[in-house]
Structure 1
Amino acid sequence: MVNPLQTRERLPVNQSINDPLIQTERLCLHYGTKPAFANVSLPIYKGSITALVGPSGCGKTSFLSCLNRLTDLIPNAKVTG
């Protein structure tokens, strides 16, 4: 059995240790003509703690659905991370 504390993760060749693990730039989501959220830019770095805070209905769950690819992306959208 491998001890996870003794293994080292390797970054992809083109990824720097200072690059965000997950990043959005000007991410928008609409349900029909109603915007769920607009222009969300957020870098999330490895080892960081990030919280989404806001009132009910402000788009927190919709934002996470976009990150998990549970919503359809528009053509030419780039997903990394």
Structure 2
Amino acid sequence: MRSNPAYKEYSDKQVECLADVEIKYATPEAIEQVLQGKTPAGSGWKDGVDGKAVTSALAACKDPIVPSPTG
């Protein structure tokens, strides 16, 4: 995720939080596809995942966006 320009303004803590959400809710196949720079087929989420829970967890990682001191 750190190499993705979309996350360049995110702090290390925010990137870790987003990665934790992906690990918790995404399928292993989807994670592998993302690591390969591909877009996951389908939703990429594990069966039975509540979309509201994912949205809430992702939102908790994003705000406030604080630039990382390490770049």
Larger helix proportion, structure 1 or 2? 2
Larger strand proportion, structure 1 or 2? 1
TM-score by length of 1: 0.25
Q: Which has the larger radius of gyration?
A: 1
TM-score by length of 2: 0.27
